[in-house]
Amino acid sequence: MKGLILSGGKGTRLRPLTFTSAKQLVPVANKPVLFFGIESVVEAGITDIGIVVGDTGDEIRAAVGDGSRFGVRVEYSQEPEPPLETGGGIVEALPLLGRGPFLLVNADIVCDVELGAIGPPRGQATLLLVPNPGHHPDGDFGLAADGRLVEAEPRLTFAGISLLDTALFAGLERGRRSLKSVLDVGIERGVVYGLVHSGAWLDVGTPERLSAARELLAESA
């Protein structure tokens, strides 16, 4: 199995920090937040990782290199301008992944889940879900008793971590689209499942949440 890290965001909500550094390289506990994602994928036993990059791709390539510092092989998928959004970025990166399941992680996530525990794959997608945080009270997806995701209340929040099968993207042409639009089709077909994580989870999309992530990791150090 391979891993794919979405690292193409511009980080506009983290300005002014991102005026001088890529959002994905902003430090948390003396380490770029992107490195947490890479290390968590490595801990799941994955040795081949693709990283989707955008206009800060040169900075990320310089920081991560070929992956040897992490004991893995890293390849890059460069998004064009304007960006393709999450779904489009994944379709663009499919040549790096081959066929079958892959582990997808957003680069701006801090989470204490063991990624290896998300498998084995169910259907064509298993999404990690968390209780709705204060900044996203309405959630994203409902969860049925059999583990399938549904468009119903109550909803939980997608954690930005998932185990996907390349078959979920079969037949999609390259272009701009959200991952949610792809997942919604899969939900209608009954092939998307969810797994609830009740431990620590934060994204660093704003200065306030970045501070919270730094406090969280300082407490656990």
Domain ranges of the chain: 2-220
Domain 2-220 has CATH 3.65.10.10: no
Task: Of 51-55, 85-89, 203-207, give the lowest mean pLDDT range.
Answer: 203-207
Other CB atoms within 10 Å distance of the CB of residue 16: 7
Check residue 55 and report its DSSP letter. T
The most distant pair of C-alpha atoms in the chain lies apart, rounded to whole Å, by: 47
What pLDDT does residue 135 have?
A: 83
Enumerate helices (H) and strands (E) in the chain, giving the number of each: 5, 13
In the structure, what pLDDT confidence band is assigned to residue 97 with cuts at 50, 70 and 90? Answer: very high
pLDDT per position as a tens digit, 6-28: 987 655 555 444 544 677 888 87
Residue recorded with tokens 């770029």: 32
Mean pLDDT of the chain: 88
* Mean pLDDT within 37-59: 93
pLDDT per position as a tens digit, 165-180: 999 999 999 999 999 9
- Asked whether the whole model's pTM tops 0.85, one would answer yes
pLDDT at 29 over 60: yes
pLDDT per position as a tens digit, 155-168: 999 999 999 999 99
pLDDT per position as a tens digit, 55-96: 889 999 999 999 999 999 999 999 988 889 999 999 999 999
Which two three-digit tokens encode residue 199?
């431990």
Task: Of 93-107, 160-174, 182-196, 207-221, give the lowest mean pLDDT range.
Answer: 207-221
Q: What percent of the chain lies above the pLDDT cut of 70?
A: 90
Q: What percent of the chain lies above the pLDDT cut of 90?
A: 63
pLDDT at 207 over 80: no
Which contacts of 199-203 are long-range, i.e. CB under 8 A and separated by 24 or more positions? 199/111, 199/112, 199/113, 200/110, 200/111, 200/112, 201/109, 201/110, 201/111, 201/112, 201/113, 201/130, 201/133, 201/159, 202/109, 202/110, 202/111, 202/133, 203/106, 203/108, 203/109, 203/110, 203/160
What pLDDT does residue 56 have?
A: 85
Angle 168-172-173 from CA coordinates, rounded to 5°: 155
